Amino acid sequence: MKLQSSQVTKKAIVVGTAGHIDHGKTSLVKALTGIDTDRLKEEKERGITIDIGFASLVLPSGHLISIVDVPGHERFIRNMVAGASGIDLVMLVISADEGVMPQTREHLEICEFLGIKSGFVVLTKVDLVDEEWLEFVREDVKEFLKGTFLEGAPIVPFSSVTFQGKNEILRILEEMAERVTSKDLDQPFRMPIDGVFTVKGFGLIVRGTALNGIVHLNQELIIYPQKRPVKVRNIQVHGVNRESAHAGMRTALNITGIEKDEVSRGDVIAEPGILEPSQWLDVKIRTIKDLDPPLKNFENLLLYLGTAEITAKLILFMRDNLGAKEEDVAQLFLEKPVVCWRGDRFILRRPGTNQTVAGGWILNPLSSRRKRTKPWEKKELELLTTTNTSDLILYLLNKKGPLGLNKRILALTLSIFGKKLEEELNKVRANLLELRQGDENYLFTRTSLEELKDDILEKLKKYHENNPFSPGISKEALRTRLGLEVRDILYEQALEELVKENKIVREKELYFLAEFKALSSGEVEELKWQIEQKFLKEGLTPRDFEEILLDFKENYQAISELSKTLLREGKLVKLTEKLVFHRQILEEVKQKVLEYFRKKNELTISDFRVLVGEGVSRKYLIPLLEYLDKEKITLRIGDKRVLRKR
């Protein structure tokens, strides 16, 4: 049954064929749909499928089946992987006269790597074998399928000559189509391009399997990774014009805004802002069961991702090599940037050997170079593998701390957009803060905000202790004292909340703790008087400067600052780093010395001790004499001092 333009389909399902060369895949598709998918002249002449072929079928239930006939020859494996992108079900085609062959095994393994979960087996060319041989092949196929996603799947004998088995295949397709989960139409439109061509009178056409969302006529889209804007002029699904197409449909888009030589297979056409090119991908990989030799760290491989083929360097994180059926978290460094989503499947092959060696899925499509020697890098890769989306959001935001994470970048990292992203954010909304800066929204954890507020309070407290006479500190100076990178909007939010909570006060351009009160002029003068009295009491034998200040305990910082003021004013005089005298005490010493010289001409240390008091030790006598010299009261000559001439 062919698709008519007036029909409304229930589900759009992509069914792929897989199997060894010349096992009858194309004939099977033609028998089911009436469409010959061998469209290239070379294919007709050689009898093999070189490129991807497509056919459509509408089941009686209304489900639209898009059949992708992929190449079976090992040389055309790139096209096979491109065709397998987006497949829901697979028909594994095995010729009854040959049985399981090398590409049968490889194609099945590729299907498993690509995450295909359902399908069945078609034994073709049954008209060429007898019943006994057919039963032998059937048992061999059952054994081959053990441990795979097709274990226990239906095995249908089929002949493209007699059409034996056709109705059974259609019945199974109907049954399996009911069980296929409907595609995600809430996510933005995205389609890897597997064909680019021009049609006279129409212009440029790009085609592929729509993986997500819905595309509409006249919609503005982007060609990635080159980020070229284009516009949709026409939409076709299996040759039928439509107003829209959605995920699961084989879709051809007539686009404007780009030339044919500027777009190619491997590119992606999608909505604006949902993809970002990257050369570093975080991945989880698993090797094939017959791998030999093992994969080595830093080995160069061919990456098949969506419809793209690109050289990639493999960087393993848990080990230095991977043997058969082993797994690891890893990074791929690509020769040029690609675009993809978290969760996308891929295949790895060894260049030049035609051997598939591993497959896996994308953990982070926007990564950067990681260091194998750093244990937290391994931990983060494991978290990307095992953590659910909402917990992963909290991890990524906590990692960013007070810098926060651009909401757009979070969406690109998780490959979740719009309503679906909001649903995940709502699961952890109680611990989230979303703030806008310019045209961008940033996400922070409440924990980061509270830690920042605590840090602000601590820095303000220290500022007041060290600057007891300052009325406060400016926002910019306070931020500098934080000593960490903080997003402007979070800093403003923290200050605003602290003001509302009455923990800090803002007066004009200055901030200070609510509990802080700057000293009045009267209080300042009182403290200065207390300091002077303390040093007057210390007399000629003061304790160490710092020890005297510690007597003031709670007012230490204020006393320390005021003592500096008194030193500048000359009311206190520092003779050494530890010895400070009140100016009045020193003036009294000066007067005694001047009086002494009215009667005598020379002054020895012994004379000076008698003059100032027998209890004054050399610790004080020497600095006092040197002070008199400095003040040009006395002049030292040998061990004695004389009065300077005035």
What confidence tens digit (pLDDT) does each residue in 150-175 have?
Answer: 999 999 999 999 999 999 999 999 99
Q: What is the pLDDT of residue 520?
A: 65
Q: What is the mean pLDDT of residues 72-95?
A: 65
pLDDT for 234 beyond 70:
yes
Q: Residue 438 forms beta bridges with which residues?
A: none
Q: What is the pLDDT of residue 72?
A: 44
d(CA 132, CA 568): 113
The torsion region of residue 22 among left (phi > 0), alpha (psi -120 to 50) and beta comes to: left
Q: Which of 569, 568, 571, 566 is nearest to 584 (CA)?
A: 571
475-482 and 446-466 helices, crossing angle to 10°: 110
Q: Set out the domains of the chain in order of their start, with CATH numbers.
A: 12-179 (3.40.50.300), 190-270 (2.40.30.10), 278-379 (2.40.30.10), 527-643 (1.10.10.10)
Q: What is the pLDDT of residue 527?
A: 85
Contact indicator for 307, 79 with CB cutoff of 8 Å? no
d(CA 282, CA 276): 14
Q: What are phi and psi of 510, to 5 degrees?
A: -115, 150
Q: Which of the pair, 29 or 516, is modelled with greater confidence?
A: 29
pLDDT band at 53 (very low <50, low <70, confident <90, very high): low
Q: What is the pLDDT of residue 2?
A: 36
Q: What is the pLDDT of residue 46?
A: 34
Report the range of poorest mean pLDDT among 425-434, 478-487, 549-558, 623-632. 549-558
Q: Which of 553, 488, 104, 137 is nearest to 496 (CA)?
A: 488
Those residues with Cβ within 8 angstroms of residue 490's Cβ, 6 or more apart along the chain or in another chain: 402, 404, 433, 435, 442, 444, 448, 449, 452
Report the range of poorest mean pLDDT among 78-92, 429-443, 485-499, 584-598. 78-92
Q: What is the pLDDT of residue 518?
A: 61
pLDDT for 79 beyond 60:
no
Report the range of poorest mean pLDDT among 35-44, 416-425, 484-493, 518-527. 35-44
Report the range of poorest mean pLDDT among 48-57, 407-416, 531-540, 630-639. 48-57
Strands annotated E in 76-146: 89-95, 118-124
Q: What is the pLDDT of residue 35?
A: 72
pLDDT for 6 beyond 60:
no
Q: Report the percent of the chain where pLDDT is more than 70.
A: 92
pLDDT band at 8 (very low <50, low <70, confident <90, very high): very low
Tokens of 111: 């299907």
pLDDT band at 260 (very low <50, low <70, confident <90, very high): very high
Q: What is the mean pLDDT of residues 28-57?
A: 57
pLDDT for 460 beyond 90:
yes
pLDDT band at 484 (very low <50, low <70, confident <90, very high): confident
pLDDT for 426 beyond 90:
yes
pLDDT for 185 beyond 90:
no
Q: Which of the pair, 46 or 218, is modelled with greater confidence?
A: 218
Q: What is the pLDDT of residue 91?
A: 93
Q: What is the mean pLDDT of residues 240-258?
A: 90
pLDDT for 419 beyond 80:
yes
Contact indicator for 277, 338 with CB cutoff of 8 Å? yes
Contact indicator for 245, 183 with CB cutoff of 8 Å? no
- The structure's pTM equals 0.77
pLDDT for 519 beyond 70:
no
Q: Report the percent of the chain where pLDDT is more than 90.
A: 60
Report the range of poorest mean pLDDT among 37-51, 90-104, 414-428. 37-51
pLDDT for 200 beyond 60:
yes
Q: What is the mean pLDDT of residues 236-240?
A: 82
Q: What is the pLDDT of residue 514?
A: 86
For residue 162, count other CB atoms closer than 10 A to its CB: 10
Q: What is the mean pLDDT of residues 165-193?
A: 89
Q: Which of the pair, 203 or 45, is modelled with greater confidence?
A: 203
Q: What is the pLDDT of residue 378?
A: 86
pLDDT band at 68 (very low <50, low <70, confident <90, very high): confident
Q: Which of 345, 309, 363 is nearest to 115 (CA)?
A: 345
d(CA 401, CA 485): 9
Mean pLDDT of the chain: 87
Those residues with Cβ within 8 angstroms of residue 403's Cβ, 6 or more apart along the chain or in another chain: 485, 486, 487
Q: What is the pLDDT of residue 23?
A: 80
Q: What is the mean pLDDT of residues 45-51?
A: 33
